[in-house]
């Protein structure tokens, strides 16, 4: 994971936590995905790190915000052509699951339970609870977990289940999904080296 992708992830998670705290939902996709704009694209592309308030405003428009791997907003109010169903959840979750293909990264903000979910390789790999006290200070650590273990590894090990008991809580308010034993063993061996 390069420095740019770490910064993009941190920005999207921080903005997502602010949105979730207010009980609103949103969907960010980093990468390429089939979509159709639901609204006229009158806001020109911009580097997301340069205008967080605009990014947050665009995220509140119905549909997804598509961000390029270069950190530039490509589209907003985008309807993702859904091909997957996230059982037990709504259309935003299904769109997020569909978009989480290849090397795309999806940051999904659920208005119902105020959680920020990170999806990769068509699986949920991490969840942050916006209502957990001080969770904003854990974002850097969460991105480091994604980096040190590798989001691809987490995605390959991940489960489609949203039961925190099946995930590992490495940081307060942050749950990593996957094979807990294998993941824990990998992290512990990295710490010892």
Encode the chain (193 residues) as per-residue pLDDT tens digits: 455 888 999 999 999 999 999 999 999 999 999 999 999 999 999 999 999 999 999 999 999 999 999 999 999 999 998 888 777 778 898 899 899 998 899 999 999 899 998 888 888 888 888 887 777 766 676 666 655 545 444 444 443 333 334 445 555 555 666 544 345 445 555 544 4
Look up the CATH number of the domain holding residue 129. 3.40.1700.10
Look up the pTM and report it: 0.78
Q: Strands of 64-67's sheet, edge to edge?
A: 35-37, 73-80, 64-67, 26-30, 105-110, 115-120, 123-129, 174-177, 167-171
Q: How many domains does the chain have?
A: 1
What is residue 160's three-state secondary structure?
coil
Structural domain boundaries enclosing 41 = 3-192
Q: Compute how many other C-beta atoms are within 10 angstroms of the C-beta atom of residue 169.
A: 13
Under 8 Å CB-to-CB from 180, ≥6 apart: which residues?
A: 166, 167, 168
Please state, in angstroms and rounded to a whole number, the distance separating the CA atoms of residues 48 and 156. Answer: 28
- Give the rounded distance of the alpha carbon of 166 from its chain centre: 19
């Amino acid at each position: 994971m390069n420095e740019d992708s770490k910064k993009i992830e941190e920005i999207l998670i921080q903005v997502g936590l602010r949105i979730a705290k207010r009980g609103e939902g949103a969907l960010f996709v980093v990468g390429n995905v089939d979509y159709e704009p639901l609204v006229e694209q009158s806001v020109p592309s911009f580097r997301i790190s340069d205008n967080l308030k605009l990014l947050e405003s665009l995220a509140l428009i119905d549909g997804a915000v598509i961000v390029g791997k270069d950190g530039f907003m490509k589209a907003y109010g985008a309807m993702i052509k859904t091909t997957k169903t996230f059982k037990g959840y709504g259309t935003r979750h299904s769109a997020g699951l569909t978009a989480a293909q290849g090397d795309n990264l999806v940051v999904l903000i659920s208005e119902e339970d105020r959680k920020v979910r990170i999806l990769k390789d068509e699986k949920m790999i991490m969840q942050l609870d916006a209502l957990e006290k001080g969770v904003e200070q854990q974002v850097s650590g969460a991105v480091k977990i994604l980096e040190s273990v590798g989001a691809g590894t987490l995605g390959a090990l991940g489960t489609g289940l949203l039961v925190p008991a099946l995930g590992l809580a490495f940081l307060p308010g942050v749950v990593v999904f996957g094979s807990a034993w294998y993941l824990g063993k990998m992290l512990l061996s990295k710490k010892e080296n």
